[in-house]
Amino acid sequence: MSMAQGAAGNQGQSGVRTFRRKAALLAVGLFLGFLILEAGVRIFLSVRGPYELALLENRPGGKSYRSRADVRFITRMENRRVVLETDRWGRPGPGAVAPERRPGLCRIAVLGDSFAFGLWADHYTNSMIGLAQRLTVSDGVEWVNFAAGGYGFSDMRVALEEEVLDWRPDVILLCAFNGNDIRETYLGLG
């Protein structure tokens, strides 16, 4: 083997070593990058908004959660001022409806997530259910809202079994958001 061939062979081996070293550094860098990204996403997803911390509590028995009773605070959501309040039973909105039925009224119970709760309206009276309440106030209809932010169908079922049926509604209105509610239930997340 001539010196020229030996030098070319060493350069070839050196090139292979350099390539392997760079490939290993790239693999380690990608691994560390994904590790940091995963940690960041987990931290981001574990942090609850201030409205969730003040507004929600675990149900007795720990099967699910519900809205806290007697809450009123003002927060900002997507650059809007939002007033959040619940009555003494944890129902959203300013007007309390007692569990005891008033004669002659049709009672409608509402189950749903943050949209049914009215979380995305500036005030509960401007939400879908708040509007329905205002439109039917003189028509012998009583609305009781059992919605809570983040509810999925499994949470709604727990609320139905543990609370809603005790209020003896004539009608149960199930409000579902066609984005995450159906997808999360299908995936077993909520």
Per-domain boundaries in the chain: 1-47, 50-186
Three-state DSSP class for residue 176: coil
One-letter-per-residue 3-state SS of 110-173: EECCHHHHCCCCCCHHHCHHHHHHHHHCCCCEEEEECCCCCCCHHHHHHHHHHCHHHHCCCEEE
pLDDT reading at 163 higher than 70: yes
The torsion defined by the Cα of 95, 141, 108 and 80, in degrees rounded to 10, comes to -40
Could you confirm whether domain 50-186 is CATH 3.40.50?
yes
Highest mean pLDDT among 5-9, 18-22, 67-71, 82-86: 18-22
Q: Is the pLDDT of residue 84 over 70?
A: yes
Whether 28 has a pLDDT exceeding 50, the answer reads: yes
Question: 96 near 88, Cβ under 8 Å?
Answer: yes
Average the pLDDT over 114-140 and give the result.
Answer: 77
At residue 50 the predicted structure's pLDDT band, cuts being 50, 70 and 90, is: very low
Give pLDDT, residue 46.
56
